[in-house]
C-alpha cells in the first residue's frame, strides 16, 4: 500500500516538475498594453516597449528547450522517470550552457547573471534528484525536487523581468 502511495505521489510530482522549465500555467501571450485616454476621452493604446536582443534570444532558447523536453516525453511512473530524466537533463544542461553564452545589454546584466545562477542551481537540483531517485530514496527525491523547483521559479521570475515570456511556459502544461 505504501509503495502504491509513493508511486502515485511520485507520478503527480513528476508531472508537475517536468511541466517545469517555465511558469505555472502562464502562456506566451503578452497582456494587452494599458489604455489611457486623451482629452477627447478616446481610448489610446500605448506602444509596447520592444524587447532586447537578449530577451528575444533567451525566449527562443526557452521555446526550443520546451519543444525538446516534450519530444522526449513526460514520464508516467518512477521507472519511466529513471529512463527519461537523463535524456531531459541533457536538454537542460545544453540550455544552461547556451543561455550563459548570451550577451545582455547593460540594463539587463544583473538579471542575466541572476537567471544563469538560478537556472544552474535548478539544474544541479535535478541532477541530484536523479541520483536520489536511483538510490530508491523517494522521500529524499521529493525533498530535492521541491528545493530545485524554488530555483526554477526564481529563474522564471527573472526571465519575466527582462521580457523573455517564453520561459514561463512549461512543457506538458496542456497534457
* Tens of each residue's pLDDT in the chain, 175 residues: 334 434 444 444 444 444 444 444 444 444 444 444 444 555 555 545 688 999 999 999 999 999 999 999 998 888 899 999 999 999 999 999 999 999 999 999 999 999 999 999 999 999 999 999 999 998 998 899 999 999 999 999 999 999 999 999 988 877 5
Q: State the pLDDT at residue 175.
A: 59
Indicate the SS3 state at residue 65: helix
Sequence-distant (6+) residues with CB within 8 A of 153 are 23
Among 35, 32, 163, 21, smallest CA distance to 85 is for 21
Helix (H) or strand (E) holding 10: helix 2-18
Q: State the pLDDT at residue 172.
A: 85
Enter the C-alpha cell of residue 109. 546584466
The answer to whether the predicted template modeling score (pTM) of the entire model surpasses 0.85 is no
Amino acid at each position: 500500500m505504501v509503495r502504491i502511495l509513493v508511486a502515485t505521489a511520485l507520478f503527480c510530482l513528476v508531472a508537475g516538475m517536468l511541466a517545469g522549465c517555465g511558469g505555472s500555467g502562464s502562456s506566451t501571450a503578452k497582456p494587452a498594453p494599458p489604455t489611457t485616454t486623451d482629452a477627447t476621452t478616446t481610448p489610446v493604446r500605448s506602444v509596447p516597449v520592444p524587447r532586447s536582443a537578449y530577451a528575444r534570444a533567451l525566449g527562443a532558447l526557452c521555446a526550443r528547450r520546451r519543444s525538446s523536453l516534450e519530444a522526449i516525453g513526460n514520464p508516467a511512473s518512477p521507472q519511466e522517470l529513471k529512463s527519461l530524466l537523463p535524456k531531459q537533463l541533457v536538454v537542460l544542461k545544453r540550455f544552461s550552457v547556451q543561455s550563459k553564452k548570451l550577451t545582455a545589454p547593460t540594463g539587463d546584466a544583473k538579471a542575466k547573471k541572476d537567471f544563469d545562477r538560478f537556472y544552474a542551481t535548478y539544474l544541479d537540483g535535478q541532477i541530484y534528484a536523479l541520483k536520489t531517485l536511483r538510490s530508491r530514496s523517494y522521500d529524499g527525491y521529493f525533498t530535492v525536487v521541491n528545493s530545485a523547483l524554488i530555483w526554477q521559479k526564481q529563474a522564471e521570475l527573472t526571465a519575466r523581468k527582462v521580457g523573455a515570456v517564453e520561459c514561463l511556459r512549461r512543457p506538458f502544461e496542456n497534457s
